[in-house]
Amino acid sequence: MKILINGGGIAGLTCAIALHKLGIETEVFESAHEIKPVGAGIVIQTNAIKALEYLGIEEKIIESANPINQLAILDEKGRVIKNQKPASSNRELFGGLAIHRHTLHKILKSYLPDNIFFTNKKAISFSLNDEKVNLQFEDGSIANGDYLISADGINSNIRLQLIPDSKPRYAGYICWRSVIDNTYPEIKEATETWGSKGRFGIVPINENKIYWYATINSSRFDVKINHYSLQNLKEHFSDYHILVREVINKSSDKSLIKNHICDIKPLSQFAFNKVLLIGDAAHATTPNLGQGACQAIEDVMILHHEISSGKDIPTAFKSFERRRIEKVKFIIETSRKLGAIGQIENKFLISLRNTIFRITPDFITENQLKKIYN
Ligand SMILES: Cc1cc2nc3c(=O)[nH]c(=O)nc-3n(C[C@H](O)[C@H](O)[C@H](O)COP(=O)(O)OP(=O)(O)OC[C@H]3O[C@@H](n4cnc5c(N)ncnc54)[C@H](O)[C@@H]3O)c2cc1C
């Protein structure tokens, strides 16, 4: 039996490792020419750390990453609105591992033999033929397998072939990201600053670097904001607190990554007999909960559990779907709402929001987190 995996991102690589551990022949097809040091940072949270532990691949990631023990939400002057940190009895409700995406990819890839990973292979569609799945690539070549797991991200060609109306939905804000050296002894934990001009996140990651991100409301077609340079971002956030300004000042235009933040409307089907959607291809979410990759890793844990319990593959795919649909729907919907709240620009509503956040008892936040982390 051979399973093809389309997409060599976090979902595809983790899935290949899990299948490899189960002794299932696997091939991974990635559209990029090579895995380069692209991307910025990422936070792997408790639920995904547990899933990595289940798969037995947590050690190198824990060794390489920077542990995050708290996330403080600040207002634009740098005053704390809410500080999420572990109550001593509830340590596993908070915390995560902040790591450069390139480091994470390199570690995941190190668990796989090189000869099952093919770059420069952009899949355009699949077909079923004589009990086999054929994966067609842009270069005209075809791969055959018994099953296909599509892990090709939010713009998945395979998902669009199966569910043509599952196009990404724009959330109304653009995100810029970058990584710089951490020369600030005071930056040891993650912060997210919420102000009337958008949000600004600062996360210390491995190798003494800082990963930062900024989100600004914009229509998809606003020519001015869509073409913001670092200088424009400096001016945009010029009345935010000093660390925001310093972090932008230290960055360079060439390291800036821009994304229109999108998700996909929760789907009611991930399993299509011989084909399964996982990761962002199945349930792309806005990044407001920092859960997209975490959910992709959770997917793989559940899939591994289903296959290792002895079910045939189409039955395992269907059970996977049953176990994942509600959880990822909750993540997509909660994250989208949190993004809308975080991106409020009206000063009166901001003050109301900040007050509500300040007085919300910790147990309410913890109950939300339990739903995410369990
Ligand atoms: C600004 C931002 C911040 C985020 N922060 C976090 C965070 O802190 N924590 C977290 O858990 N998540 C975070 N996420 C979400 C996370 O990045 C995604 O959920 C995660 O990368 C999904 O992994 P994936 O492998 O499913 O998809 P992708 O990472 O998109 O990987 C898909 C892979 O498939 C390849 N591919 C695409 N099309 C094809 C094709 N046709 N044929 C072959 N290969 C193809 C791509 O090149 C890519 O390598 C963030 C997202 C954004 C935008």
Contact between 234 and 245 under an 8 Å Cβ cutoff? The reply is: yes
Q: Is the dihedral of CA 232, 199, 67, 335 positive or negative?
A: negative
Question: pLDDT tens digits for 311-334?
Answer: 999 999 999 999 999 999 999 999
Contact 259 CB / ligand 1 (< 6 Å): yes
> What mean pLDDT do residues 251-270 have?
95
> Is it the case that residue 284 has pLDDT exceeding 90?
yes
Dihedral, CA of residue 204, residue 294, residue 49 and residue 118, to nearest 10: -100
pLDDT for 363: 84
Query: 45-72 pLDDT, tens per residue?
Result: 999 999 999 999 999 999 999 999 889 9
What pLDDT shows up at residue 362?
Answer: 83
Return the pLDDT at 92. Answer: 62
Q: What is the DSSP letter of 343?
A: T
Reported pTM: 0.96
Distance CA 131, CA 142 (A): 15
The per-residue pLDDT for 292 is 97
Which residue has a Cα nearest atom 49 of ligand 1?
Answer: 9
> Which 8-state DSSP code applies to residue 19?
H
Please answer whether residues 266 and 328 qualify as being in contact, where contact means their C-beta atoms are separated by less than 8 angstroms.
Answer: yes
pLDDT value at residue 37: 56
What pLDDT is stored for residue 77 in this prediction? 96
6 CB near ligand 1 (under 6 Å): yes
Instruction: Provide the pLDDT confidence category of residue 122 given band limits of 50, 70 and 90.
Output: very high
Task: Kindly indicate the confidence band of residue 41, based on its pLDDT and cuts at 50, 70 and 90.
Answer: very high
The closest residue, in CA terms, to atom 31 on ligand 1 is 9
- Whether the CB of 213 sits within 6 Å of ligand 1: yes
What is the full DSSP assignment across 70-101? -EEEEETTS-EEEEE---GGGGGGS-EEEEEH
Nearest CA to ligand 1 atom 15: 292
In terms of DSSP H, where are the helices of the chain? 10-21, 46-55, 59-64, 101-110, 157-162, 223-226, 230-236, 242-249, 280-283, 292-308, 313-342, 347-359, 362-373
The best mutation among 15, 97, 152 to test binding of ligand 1, ranked by most ligand atoms within 8 Å of the C-beta, falls on: 152
| CA-based radius of gyration for the chain | 21
At a CB cut-off of 8 Å and minimum separation 6, what does 287 contact? 175, 261, 335
Non-local (6+) Cβ contacts of 250 within 8 A are 180, 181, 183
291 lines ligand 1 (CB under 6 A): yes
In short, whether 12's Cβ falls inside 6 Å of ligand 1 is yes
Task: Give the model's confidence band at 186: pLDDT under 50 very low, under 70 low, under 90 confident, else very high.
Answer: confident
Which pLDDT score, from 0 to 100, does residue 2 have? 98
Ligand 1 atom with the shortest distance to the CA of 291: 11
What does the pLDDT read at residue 148? 98
Instruction: Give the count of beta carbons closer than 10 Å to the beta carbon of residue 262.
Output: 18
Q: What is the pLDDT of residue 129?
A: 87
Percent of the chain with pLDDT over 70: 97
Q: Is the pLDDT of residue 152 over 80?
A: yes
Segment among 94-103, 139-148, 267-276, 303-312 with least mean pLDDT? 94-103
Closest CA to 163 of 264, 27, 66: 264
Does the beta carbon of 339 lie inside 6 Å of ligand 1? no
Give 294 Cα–ligand 1 centroid separation in angstroms: 11
Helices 313-342 and 362-373 pack at an angle, to 10 degrees, of: 150
For residue 110, what pLDDT is reported?
96
Q: Is the pLDDT of residue 86 over 70?
A: no
pLDDT at 36 over 70: no
* Mutation pick for ligand 1 pocket among 4, 5, 6, 10 (CB with most ligand atoms within 8 Å): 10
Neighbours of 225 (CB within 10 A): 15
Q: What is the pLDDT of residues 128-138, one digit of tens each?
A: 987 899 999 99
Q: Pick from 7, 55, 1, 56: which is nearest to 23 by CA?
A: 1
Nearest-5° Cα angle at 170, 167 to 175: 130
Give the mean pLDDT of 277-282: 98
